[in-house]
Amino acid sequence: MDASMHPETCVIHGGHQRDSSGSLTTPLLQTATFAFDDCHSGGQRFAGEQAGPIYTRLGNPTTNELERRIALLEGSEDALAFASGMGAVAAALLGTLQSGDHLIVATSLYGCSHSLATEQLPRFGIEVTQVDFAQLAEVESAIQANTKLMLLETPVNPHLQAYDLDSLVSIAKAHDIITVVDNTFMTPLLQKPLSHGVDLVLHSATKYLNGHGDVIAGLVCGRAEMIDPLRNQIRKDFGAVLSPHDAWLILRGMKTLALRMERHCDSALKIARYLQTHPTVAAVHYPGLESHMGYGLIGTQMKAGGGVVAIELCGDYQTALSFVDALRLFTIAVSLGDPESLVQHPASMTHSCYQQEERRAAGISDNLVRLAIGLEHCDDLIADLEQALSHCHTKERRDETV
């Protein structure tokens, strides 16, 4: 299979190499190590003079197929799998930056990416500046002589702000800065950052790529010259290797990715439009809505708005908690991309590592709630939201009369 096939075909066939057994599905090679015919053969493999697996921390045929498939989907020369999404983020940063370098990150990032950038990297002599990537002048002014890399998500976790990659890449290339984009919320079916000039693309394969909530995994995609050091040094020495069984589960899950993303996106748009009309909802953040600042990027950078909707309720921190607790069909859990619809309160959960002033600067309000829309019937999800919002409204009115 080659890169010319449609994504709906690639998620099923991409990177597959049928082995001598004739197995239709990818064989699961659940092994730690691989046998050599003799010492000479083993030495040649270690020297890179003979192709073939050595030790699963260095590579495994099952995992390699996952890497080939995501590379084809993202349109990259190479890809590398890790034991978690954070393993992928850490590898991309630690494999590219060194002491004395300057990193620019978005004010709003996934909570652990934020902690890694602002708390861990400075311990190794790496300077970090947080900016709003929607403000291009702010990005320009943050650039220093030692700026090496920009890290961002688009759409942003958790409030779904969307950034113009063409404009950001133009700025980065003018200053010889590496761009790294987390594409988890979109998947390569909805957005391909590399086609806009981005250098490295990250995925938490835990989410939509696996799609079943039973795997933790991460992926990095990019040019071979950038992936090789991550494979031969960072993953080998730091050891954040994905197990073959988890790679096999992701490969199985990816076969339905196109169908699942269509359902996630369709339901999310319907729910976002419903929430826009509800008097208890102060704001709805979803790129598929005409009112969203990222709507103009659909059709040029994004194919659809994705499967996550964020809302700000009329009320405060406690109102948000009451709403989340009142939901019955939505499960209170972090993550997204599962068949089950999930809900979480960023200020007290995924982004609780932010200081309050940092959350404010990042646009993460106390009354913000993130909804990861699953595969249930949309009418049932809307009914659940309606009863939970009515509960909050009733509580607010009761409080007003006390």
Question: How does residue 3 score in pLDDT terms, banded at 50, 70 and 90?
Answer: low
Task: Select which of 57, 68, 273, 395 is catalytic.
Answer: 57
Q: Is residue 265 scored above 60 in pLDDT? A: yes
**Poorest-pLDDT segment among 45-54, 117-126, 356-365, 382-391:** 356-365
Distance (Å) of CA 300 to CA 191, 193, 266, 334: 9, 11, 19, 30
Last residue of a domain, one of 194, 220, 254: 254
My answer on whether 250 and 393 are in the same domain is: no
My answer on whether 247 and 288 are in the same domain is: no
Q: What is the DSSP letter of 3?
A: T
pLDDT at 402: 34
The strand pairing partners of 105, in sequence order, are 130, 151
At 289, which amino acid appears? L
Task: Select which of 182, 246, 338, 366 is catalytic.
Answer: 182
Task: Select which of 69, 148, 192, 207 is catalytic.
Answer: 207
Active-site annotation holds for 182: yes
Percent with pLDDT over 70 in the chain: 97
Q: Is residue 394 scored above 60 in pLDDT? A: no
Q: Which residues of 266-297 are buried (b: 16+ CB within 10 A; e: fewer)?
A: ebbbbbbebbeebebbebbbbbbbeebebbeb
State the helix-helix crossing angle for 317-326 and 378-401, rounded to 10 degrees: 140
CA pair distance 380, 108, nearest whole angstrom: 31
Looking at the domain assignment, is residue 270 inside a domain? yes
Q: Is residue 397 scored above 70 in pLDDT? A: no
**Over the stretch 307-330, which tens digit does the pLDDT of each residue have?**
999 999 999 999 999 999 999 999
pLDDT at 395: 52
Structure tokens at 161: 């702000």
Ranked by mean pLDDT, which of 46-60, 309-323, 342-356, 360-374 comes out on top?
309-323
Active-site annotation holds for 57: yes
Q: Is residue 333 scored above 90 in pLDDT? A: yes
pLDDT at 393: 60
**Over the stretch 65-109, which tens digit does the pLDDT of each residue have?**
999 999 999 999 999 999 999 999 999 999 999 999 999 999 999
Q: Which residues of 154-164 are buried (b: 16+ CB within 10 A; e: fewer)?
A: bbbbbbbbbbb
The strand pairing partners of 82, in sequence order, are 218
Q: Is residue 396 scored above 80 in pLDDT? A: no
At 134, which amino acid appears? A
**Over the stretch 99-120, which tens digit does the pLDDT of each residue have?**
999 999 999 999 999 999 999 9
Last residue of a domain, one of 205, 238, 254: 254
CA pair distance 87, 236, nearest whole angstrom: 12
Mean pLDDT of the chain: 94
My answer on whether 373 and 357 are in the same domain is: yes
My answer on whether 292 and 309 are in the same domain is: yes
**Over the stretch 176-219, which tens digit does the pLDDT of each residue have?**
999 999 999 999 999 999 999 999 999 999 999 999 999 999 99
Active-site annotation holds for 207: yes
**Over the stretch 9-51, which tens digit does the pLDDT of each residue have?**
999 999 998 887 888 889 999 999 999 999 999 999 999 899 9
- The pTM for the full model equals 0.94
Task: Select which of 69, 78, 110, 192 is catalytic.
Answer: 110
My answer on whether 192 and 323 are in the same domain is: no
Looking at the domain assignment, is residue 23 inside a domain? yes
My answer on whether 244 and 263 are in the same domain is: no
Q: How many domains does the chain have?
A: 2
Structure tokens at 279: 């008097």
pLDDT at 112: 93
- Looking up residue 347, the CATH number of its domain turns out to be 3.90.1150.10
Asked if 118 and 130 count as a contact pair (C-beta separation under 8 A), the reply is: yes
Query: SS3 sequence, 111-172?
Result: HHHHHHHHHHHHHHCCEEEEECCCCHHHHHHHCCCCEEEEEEECCCCCCCCCCCHHHHHHHH
- Find the domain containing 46 and state its range: 7-254
pLDDT at 364: 87
